[in-house]
Amino acid sequence: MKTGIIQQSLSGFYDVIADEKIYRTRARGNFRQRKIKPVVGDHVEFSAENQQEGYLLKILPPPQSVGSATCC
């Protein structure tokens, strides 16, 4: 399994950037059954045997941002 970020979404295909490569993936059926739609910028876990065929397995929580402090 690899992790990456969705760069583009087009007609049910999701282009994921990982290891400085772009992988063309599709969402598994469990996303459609639960009515979850991955969006550009999501951090995802996926499996791919090559760069043209792969499946999204899991949407990961967004990374925590550091820097801004709460005010007042």
pLDDT digit string, tens, across residues 7-58: 999 999 999 999 999 999 999 888 888 888 999 999 999 999 999 999 999 9
**Contact 42/21 with Cβ under 8 angstroms?**
no
Task: Give the pLDDT confidence score for residue 66 in this predicted structure.
Answer: 64
Architecture of domain 2-59 in this structure: Beta Barrel (2.40)
User: How many other β-carbons are positioned within 10 Å of the β-carbon of residue 69?
Assistant: 4
Task: Return the domain boundaries, the chain.
Answer: 2-59
Lookup: tokens for 49: 């045997």
**Contact 57/48 with Cβ under 8 angstroms?**
no
| pLDDT reading at 6 higher than 60 | yes
Contacts of 28 (CB under 8 A, 6+ apart): 55, 56, 57
| pLDDT reading at 61 higher than 80 | yes
**Contact 40/8 with Cβ under 8 angstroms?**
yes
**Contact 15/24 with Cβ under 8 angstroms?**
yes
Q: How much is the pTM? A: 0.82
